[in-house]
Amino acid sequence: MGSLQRNVYWILSLIFVFTAFLFFVDLFTADLFPCTSLNKDGNYNTSHQAEENNSHSTAKENDSYRNDVKSECAERGLVAYGQTVFMCGLLIGSLVGGILSDRYGKRVLLIGSCTVQAVTGLMSAFVPHVIFHLIARLIVGITCCGINISSFSLGVEWSVPKYRMWPPALLTFASAIGMMLFAGIASLASDWLQFSLAISVPQIVCLPIYFYIPESPRWLMTNKRFSKLDEYRKRSKEDSESLDLILNTIGCEPQNSIKLRYEDQTNSVLQYFKSGTIILRLCIMSCISLASALTYCGISYNVGSFGVNMYLGQFFSGLAECPLILMPFLLSRFGRRPLSIVSLLLSGTACLLSLLISEFCAIPALVMTLALIGKLCVQVSFCVSLLYSIELFPTVMRQKCVGFVFLWYRIGSILNALMSPGSGLSLATMICYCSGPIIGGLFCLFLPETSNMPLPDTLEDCQKQPVLPFFYKRVSTNLNNEKKSHPELSEQQ
């Protein structure tokens, strides 16, 4: 591993720890946000001002007043609206993130998103007003999606095929660490200012470090930025060897031939979307992404609905995702498709058991344990799907396809916010969490296995990926029909 690869892995992990802070802010906003109530004069008085005005009242009266103010803020729907607006920001980011990444590069999108996210979080500390808070949540949602889209692709594209499963596992593990740290920060913060500064200042301090992250070598090759690739090669012998392995140039065609290989691909990106192979994979991955979002966000944003302390619930919610660091070993042993199927089916089963126990036994600890197991399994499937999506689509349209898959994840997140807006989990909602992963697991049967295979650069590379034997004849027939219907693709390949 060269120094450039090490920079990619540890910098992206650091970013994900801080991003986890802002991802779950809405869980504790009602408790820490300086809720305001209107006086007859139309002026806003915070709960701290109310305490000063009532300094001569009894402690019991002060507690009662603070609870009334908090209740008024909760009735205003701040938490529910904040979560919904944040999810809308993620949706917008899914629409534009892939396009920006393909046009300007993953590094530019990543650094820009981190900078905007950190500054917006810092401003929220000093402008504690409801409207600005909602606007800030929208902006943070857009940047979070930009970070996710660029980070996972950047991590995978800087890895050789044998170790491509490590970046999704490592970044998800870093996010789990961030969730646990976030629970501690929220429990120790006494007011909104302390809370906001604690989750935004660390990222601002680390912003200069992010500029040391390199650009995707495949994006540089596709966009003919060969001078930058040469610059990376000259850094060290290890970096040069790593680039050769990543770009599959050891013992293969010379550099000039590789340049010609990428020269005309960008002219026919729209033609790729006419391919039945691409459309089928987009539909399946989008379905899995939608089901994963409903289950994961539903459990993550309702940890206080299982009868346990919210701060402990958030801590254990993060702790439940730590075993994801072992996912690469499972992927290397079983492959992408089998692990996706098993994890999705286990997730649906665990959520179903959680639902049955909550209905007939009402044991909060057991209900939450099963729900978190379901959350862990669905997160495993989502991490695999992130890697899967990158490996299923050709380089010239990879970010657009990944962005489209992320789009459905964000739609699922918004639907979840509407289905359970912080008021608990209904029977219909839990049934949805159970059935979605099971259906997604069945759809995985129609996907190819991509373990230890080079990233596809063209439609022909996608067609060479192995599929299930019973599905092979049908796929082969479809591929032949595609070539006959779109001869321009065959000529270009």
pLDDT, one tens digit per residue, over 194-203 is 888 888 888 8
- Domain that residue 100 falls in: 1-37+75-218
pTM: 0.71
pLDDT value of position 48: 43
Residue 92 has pLDDT above 70, yes or no: yes
pLDDT value of position 158: 84
| 3-17, 42-56, 234-248, 392-406: which is most confident | 3-17
Where is average pLDDT lowest: 165-174, 329-338, 412-421? 412-421
16 shares a domain with 132: yes
Of 479 and 371, more confident: 371
383 shares a domain with 313: yes
Query: How many domains, in total, are found in the chain?
Result: 2
Find where tokens 């730590």 sit: 322
314 shares a domain with 206: no
Residue 436 has pLDDT above 80, yes or no: yes
pLDDT value of position 474: 43
pLDDT value of position 70: 46
65 part of a folded domain: no
Asked if 101 and 149 count as a contact pair (C-beta separation under 8 A), the reply is yes
Q: What is the CATH number of the domain that holds 329?
A: 1.20.1250.20
85 part of a folded domain: yes
Give the mean pLDDT of the chain: 75
* Residue at which a domain ends, from 218, 238, 267: 218
Q: What is the mean pLDDT of residues 260-277?
A: 57
Q: What is the mean pLDDT of residues 237-247?
A: 78
Burial degree of 14 (CB within 10 A; 0-12, 13-18, 19+): middle
Q: What's the pLDDT band for 308 if we cut at 50, 70, 90?
A: low
328 shares a domain with 203: no
Q: What's the pLDDT band for 269 if we cut at 50, 70, 90?
A: low
Half-sphere exposure of 449 toward its Cβ, with a 13 Å CA cutoff? Answer: 17
57 part of a folded domain: no
The helix/strand/coil state of 88 is: helix
251 part of a folded domain: no
Max intra-chain CA distance, the chain: 86
pLDDT value of position 192: 83
pLDDT value of position 89: 87
CB count within 10 Å of CB 260 equals: 9
